[in-house]
């Protein structure tokens, strides 16, 4: 099982380097026979801190070995350095916080920020802060019994939270945990009538938004020539028109050339095979 776990972790890392978050979870599962620990006893045991130092050392060694095959320094350090150089540390920190609150709100409420009007953005970010607090409370309650899945979620979330970039899709691999912890956070305050109503409203809203997204995605799939105009609000119109219908796009940037090459390689409907 250990060998199979390491093989699968290696495959996950090869697909996305954030698969490194699986390493601490695997080590926890290997060294903890019952696959769970009582957190309070863990905190009082000096061996805990020795084990944490050991795990930190192993993780550091893994990152050092894998460093030549990744660009972690680019996506973690240089992005924030660039942001600070373009503004200042305070503005870069506020921007980073806004991004993360927006990501959490989008993924947990199932509402893309692209459909949120500008005048509602402050309220949307405020709801992201409330969601984050409830998530944190639900996760804290879960930590009374520490499991390898909690280790995986904590490491994965830490990497995404540190990353100075905005994209809620990167939370999808831990979406079940996010929804579970948010539900537990809401459940803890179920004695409050407002929160009890909010829990039912959230579940209903999540299902409705999912149905709308499914219907719209199905429409896009069969929209033919209109696909280029509607997908991403038309942001990739020129690239899709060249790939699907052979209409040349003038003055392509290097990134657009790469996007077009990917479409030509993977998309069966692309003309320029």
Q: Please count the structural domains in the chain.
A: 3
**pLDDT at residue 3 greater than cutoff 70:** yes
Domain assignment present for 201: no
Phi, psi of 163 (to 5 degrees): -60, 120
Domain co-membership, 88 together with 176: yes
Q: How many CB atoms lie within 10 A of CB 267?
A: 13
Domain assignment present for 212: no
Which pLDDT score is estimated for 176?
92
Domain co-membership, 43 together with 85: no
Domain assignment present for 109: yes
Per the structure, the complete domain to which residue 101 belongs is given by 76-191
Domain assignment present for 211: no
CB 171 within 8 A of CB 103: yes
Domain co-membership, 162 together with 129: yes
Domain-ending residue, one of 53, 69, 85: 69
Which pLDDT score is estimated for 272?
62
**pLDDT at residue 37 greater than cutoff 70:** no
Residues 6+ apart with CB under 8 A from 134: 182, 185, 186, 189
* Predicted confidence (pLDDT) per residue in 192-214, tens digit: 777 777 777 888 888 998 999 89
Confidence of residue 39 (pLDDT cuts 50, 70, 90): low
Domain co-membership, 37 together with 90: no
**Poorest-pLDDT segment among 71-80, 136-145, 221-230:** 71-80
pTM here? Answer: 0.77
Domain co-membership, 85 together with 182: yes
């Amino acid at each position: 099982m250990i060998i199979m776990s390491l093989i699968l972790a290696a495959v996950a890392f090869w697909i996305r380097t954030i698969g490194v978050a699986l390493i601490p979870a695997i080590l926890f599962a290997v060294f903890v026979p019952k696959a769970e620990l009582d957190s309070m006893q863990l905190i009082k045991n000096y061996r805990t801190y020795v084990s944490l130092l050991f795990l930190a050392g192993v993780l550091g060694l893994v990152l050092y070995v894998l460093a030549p095959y990744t660009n972690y320094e680019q996506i973690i350090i240089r992005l924030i350095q660039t942001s600070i150089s373009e503004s200042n540390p305070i503005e870069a920190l506020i921007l980073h916080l806004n991004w993360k609150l927006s990501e959490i709100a989008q993924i947990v409420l199932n509402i893309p920020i692209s459909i949120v009007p500008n005048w509602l953005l402050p309220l949307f970010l405020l709801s992201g802060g409330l969601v984050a607090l409830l998530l944190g409370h639900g996760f804290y309650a879960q930590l009374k019994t520490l499991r390898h899945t909690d280790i995986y979620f904590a490491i994965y979330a830490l990497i995404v939270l540190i990353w100075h970039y905005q994209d809620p899709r990167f939370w999808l691999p831990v979406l079940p945990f996010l929804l579970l912890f948010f539900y537990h956070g809401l459940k803890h305050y179920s004695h409050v009538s407002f929160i009890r109503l909010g829990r039912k409203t959230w579940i209903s809203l999540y299902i409705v938004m999912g149905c709308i997204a499914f219907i719209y995605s199905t429409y896009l799939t069969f929209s033919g020539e209109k696909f280029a105009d509607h997908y991403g609000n038309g942001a990739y119109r020129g690239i899709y028109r060249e790939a699907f219908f052979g209409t040349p796009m003038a003055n392509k940037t290097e990134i657009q050339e790469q996007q077009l090459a990917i479409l030509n390689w993977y998309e069966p409907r692309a003309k320029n095979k």
